[in-house]
Structure 1
Amino acid sequence: MTYLYGVLFKSGSRSHAIKILAVDYDGGDIGQALSIAYQALQADTFPTIEYHSASEYSTPELLEEAICKGDFWAAIYTHSGASKRLMAAIEGKNTTEYDPASTISYTYDASYYPIISTSVIKANMETLIAVTSRTYYSVAADARAAVNLSDATSYSAFVNPIQASSEVQSPTNQGTRVLLNTVSMVMPTLMQFFFLMGMNGIWGEAGVFSKLSKRDTYLARLVISKFYTLFCAVGMTGYIWAFREDWGVNGQQFGQTWMCLWLYMEINYLLLDTMLDPVIPMKFFPFFLLTWIIINVASTIYPFVLSAGFYRWGYALPAHNTWTLLMEVWSGGCKLQNEVALPVLLAWWVLGHVSSAWSVRNRCIVTEGIPVNKRLDTETSESMIVLESV
């Protein structure tokens, strides 16, 4: 728990590590007010705004592409001609009703760490635009002189010049989003542990390890593990989808989520199959199990940019890489990190098969040298110890 608490320790003071793209399409008083407002808010606890020219990102669609590529967490931009429209409304020259929401907009991908998107991105962008609205009065001297307080249109535009408008990509508003990268990443490990403990006990009582050849024992367990982890993965995907509310995911994303979770389930099965008994005696296994769960969950609950640099070794853990793949699936292919996630997961998967084969061979050899009655007594007592510990 000390390790887990450390992930979140002083995370607020690292908010500046989150980069947000800014483009001023307006080029007038509103754009200037936005820049001054950011300078007033700039701090370690506020995301970093990086200004780029309108020639580099000529349309808002290009801003969304930059976010999708993973270069930025979000983007904020002023609308072209916003200052002129506002000034015309204040002077009473508008032929249409003035819309304060058509001045500054921000966009972000809500499926990428959903809680961070809401608490850090959305909250701070709303704050920035609210400060920009107040800052406008100190910038636009012409507006102060031109306002006609007796004219409803002029007065309304002057007192409410700027409002935030957002364009959320992959909205993730369902209540269960808080569980996706927390409790949900614990269950795959627990499912494999209890299944393995039960299967080992049943096989031990039936004398399978001593009756079948080492090859047949390994192949039988391999086939069983494939089907069991496949079943677990579709079950987990099923309850995620059952409680998705208005989350806009489709059937193809269901299949991709299923496959991602199947791979994660298999890795956990192979690891626990290797460690349970041949490496760590059953009576000491809860210490390993809880440690394994905590360090994996710690690698998914918060982005590494908001944690101390030490925790970035979590890039090597299967849970973190599974989570990055899931976020890619749910965002429709954005935030690609396949060049890291897939090789890491493949390495765990391949090594897991090798080590699992070794563990089955070890069990068979050990079991062959233990009398049946003594073996049953030992396995029963050790199973009770583990159940009481868990």
Structure 2
Amino acid sequence: MAFMQGYPKAHQNRIHGSDKSIRKTRVNLLKAAGLNFILLQILFLGLFCYIFGAIWQQSSHIHNMNVLFVDYDGSVLGTAVRDAYKTLQGKTFPTLQEMPSERFPTLGDVKEAVCRTNYWGAIYTSMGASERLANALPGGVAADTYNRSDVLTFVWNEARYSTIVDPDIQGTLITLSSTARVAYSAINGTGALQILNSTDPAAISVFTNPWQLTSVNLQETSQGSRLIYNTLVIILILIQEFFYLGTINGLYAAFKIYAKLYPHRIIAYRNCISLAYTFCGSLCVTGAIWAFRGDWDVNSNQFGLTWAVLWLFAHVNFLWLDVFTIWTPPQYVPMLLITWIVFNVSSILVPFELSPGFYRWSYAMPAHEVFQTLIHIWSKGCNPQLYYALPTLFVLELVGLLLGVVGVYRRCHYAVVVEEAADAAFRDRVAVALATEKRLAVERKQRIAEGGSEDVIEEEKREEEELEDVIREEDKSLQRKHTKVAQDCRYGPAFPLAFNNDPSDSSVNSTSQGV
């Protein structure tokens, strides 16, 4: 075809697939491809099972979400709620935990219990609600002034896993209210009909619609972008740190920094660069969240706190990705990256109440800690998990810094080892070439002294081919000899540089060691 003619050397000096000389290479290629085929299939199968397991049979774990019930009315309305819960009670319905009103003397105490995450929500009957309802049925002023919103109220915090609490808390409590209305009619229907003023429209309205469930949402979070706060936002932050880590490693490898500067200088520069990068990156993430917040009620103080905690989270991941790549062979780094991402995201996809108990080990994952802290910030303190979230993040930061310091010393050590090995290999190569050339010269003189009449051109060609073979064998020997050194010297993932201020510097233009 015409487009293939632009690559005339694509078919030059090729070997047929059935040629004996390539049989060993073909077998080794297939073995390597098969091994990586199996490793990647096992890895991704395991990751898929892990993340699916985190949300497996989520609905059957809803009973682990507790809801507070306080009956301030103390009459038939509270009985209707209890009867309704008995009808709905099961694995797919939150557990209603009734507490005496003495434990929660004011409505503020109920809100505080939900705010402090003692309960996922709360529902309570208003004091005197049954009496006001009974007084409205005969009609008159009591029916005209009857307030349906002051009968049954529920409290919840939508900022706390908003995509979960919307159906599992708000939706179920609305269902509980509707079922309680049916139970109320069954309990008090005959008595209500006896006192109902059938000629008063207001009284009939009260009888047919005795209450309207009132919602007290501690932090409304209904904007569309909330769907990705615990998924894509976290994933993109992790990928962002990985890519810049590769860029930093590429710079250090290209300019041979590890073999030139003192380790403490490299540590200082590296941390300053990573802190500046994560500082700007977290600002961009926070700015994007705020730009698409819609009518979300958050202020500038929450913006600053969000920025700060995302900065800490980003730098923690930068450090730990760096640590992993120091001690992990390069061929396994991509597998480690995707595993780190899945483990972090799985820790915040759903609350631990909706996951099997095994997944609670994910308390140690930085994504879980940062998301708990963000909920605390966004809901104005109504998720007091900072007592373990922030210390965990700071411990991860300090341990990552310490291991990163060790990693810099390790890289500096092996960078010098590699330089010395390269110099020794060059000297060996030169020595072998000179020795071979001297031997060939001696052999040439001997043939001339013996009266040989070999063609000069053919002799020189033969000598060049022999010299090339010797050098090639020496290169193979040196490569086998220094394989261990090359494996121990791990700079981490590194990407070629997009911009270079010194085009003449061949060391910078050369492709950096990649993953």
Given the two structures, how large is their TM-score scaled by the length of structure 1? 0.94
One-letter identity of the residue aligned with 1:294:
V
Say whether the 8 Å CA contact 1:283–1:382 is kept in structure 2. Answer: no
Say whether the 8 Å CA contact 2:153–2:213 is kept in structure 1. Answer: yes
1:94 aligns with 2:123: no
What secondary structure does 2:331 align onto? helix
- In structure 1, the residue matched to 2:291 is 242
Say whether the 8 Å CA contact 1:78–1:105 is kept in structure 2. Answer: yes
Say whether the 8 Å CA contact 2:253–2:512 is kept in structure 1. Answer: no
- In structure 1, the residue matched to 2:315 is 266
Picking from 53, 58, 75, the partner of 1:6 is 53
1:152 aligns with 2:201: yes
Alignment of 1:189-228 (within 5 A): 189-228=238-277
- In structure 2, the residue matched to 1:173 is 222
Kindly state the Cα deviation for residue 382 of structure 1 after the two structures are TM-superposed. 4.6
- In structure 1, the residue matched to 2:344 is 296
Say whether the 8 Å CA contact 1:130–1:163 is kept in structure 2. Answer: no
Say whether the 8 Å CA contact 1:76–1:105 is kept in structure 2. Answer: yes
Q: How many matched pairs?
A: 382
Picking from 338, 363, 370, the partner of 1:315 is 363
Kindly state the Cα deviation for residue 342 of structure 1 after the two structures are TM-superposed. 2.0
One-letter identity of the residue aligned with 1:105:
T
- In structure 2, the residue matched to 1:188 is 237
What secondary structure does 1:186 align onto? helix
Structure label with greater radius of gyration: 2
Measured on the aligned residues, the alpha-carbon RMSD in Å equals: 1.8
Kindly state the Cα deviation for residue 337 of structure 1 after the two structures are TM-superposed. 1.4
**2: CA distance, partners of 1:343 / 1:154:** 59
- Return 5+ residue gaps in structure 2 as ranges: 1-47, 424-478, 480-485, 487-506
Picking from 283, 298, 306, the partner of 1:257 is 306
**1: CA distance, partners of 2:52 / 2:204:** 51
One-letter identity of the residue aligned with 2:218:
Q
Say whether the 8 Å CA contact 2:254–2:512 is kept in structure 1. Answer: no
- In structure 2, the residue matched to 1:231 is 280
What secondary structure does 2:220 align onto? coil
1:346 aligns with 2:477: no
Alignment of 1:363-378 (within 5 A): 363-371=411-419
1:53 aligns with 2:100: yes
**1: CA distance, partners of 2:130 / 2:75:** 6
- In structure 2, the residue matched to 1:77 is 124
The answer to which of 115-124 and 366-375 deviates more is 366-375
Alignment of 1:23-62 (within 5 A): 23-62=70-109
Given the two structures, how large is their TM-score scaled by the length of structure 2? 0.72
Compared CA separation, residues 5 and 236, structure 1 to 2 (3 A): same
**1: CA distance, partners of 2:291 / 2:208:** 46
1:287 aligns with 2:418: no
Q: Percent identity?
A: 35
Higher relative contact order (Cα pairs below 8 Å, separated by 6+ residues): 1
**2: CA distance, partners of 1:129 / 1:104:** 8
Say whether the 8 Å CA contact 1:133–1:163 is kept in structure 2. Answer: no
Say whether the 8 Å CA contact 1:274–1:358 is kept in structure 2. Answer: no
Say whether the 8 Å CA contact 2:140–2:200 is kept in structure 1. Answer: no
Picking from 192, 209, 213, the partner of 1:143 is 192
Moved over 6 A (4+): 372-377
**2: CA distance, partners of 1:282 / 1:149:** 82
Picking from 67, 90, 93, the partner of 2:114 is 67
1:125 aligns with 2:256: no
Kindly state the Cα deviation for residue 346 of structure 1 after the two structures are TM-superposed. 1.7
What secondary structure does 1:380 align onto? coil
1:330 aligns with 2:378: yes
The CA deviation string for residues 67-103 of structure 1, in whole angstroms up to 9 with x for no partner, is: 1122111110111121122112211143433332221
**2: CA distance, partners of 1:201 / 1:290:** 21
Say whether the 8 Å CA contact 2:250–2:513 is kept in structure 1. Answer: no
One-letter identity of the residue aligned with 2:113:
A
- In structure 1, the residue matched to 2:63 is 16
One-letter identity of the residue aligned with 2:70:
V
Kindly state the Cα deviation for residue 107 of structure 1 after the two structures are TM-superposed. 0.8
**1: CA distance, partners of 2:62 / 2:320:** 35
The CA deviation string for residues 282-309 of structure 1, in whole angstroms up to 9 with x for no partner, is: 3321100000000010001111011000
- In structure 1, the residue matched to 2:511 is 380
**1: CA distance, partners of 2:323 / 2:99:** 52
**2: CA distance, partners of 1:301 / 1:343:** 22
**2: CA distance, partners of 1:253 / 1:332:** 8
**1: CA distance, partners of 2:355 / 2:338:** 21
What secondary structure does 1:102 align onto? coil
**2: CA distance, partners of 1:296 / 1:324:** 13
**1: CA distance, partners of 2:164 / 2:60:** 14
- Return 5+ residue gaps in structure 1 as ranges: none
Say whether the 8 Å CA contact 2:80–2:183 is kept in structure 1. Answer: yes
Kindly state the Cα deviation for residue 381 of structure 1 after the two structures are TM-superposed. 7.0
The CA deviation string for residues 161-217 of structure 1, in whole angstroms up to 9 with x for no partner, is: 122110111111111111111111112211111001111112211111111121211
What secondary structure does 2:155 align onto? strand
The CA deviation string for residues 208-230 of structure 1, in whole angstroms up to 9 with x for no partner, is: 11111212111111111111111
Say whether the 8 Å CA contact 1:25–1:79 is kept in structure 2. Answer: yes
The CA deviation string for residues 93-119 of structure 1, in whole angstroms up to 9 with x for no partner, is: 434333322210101111111111211
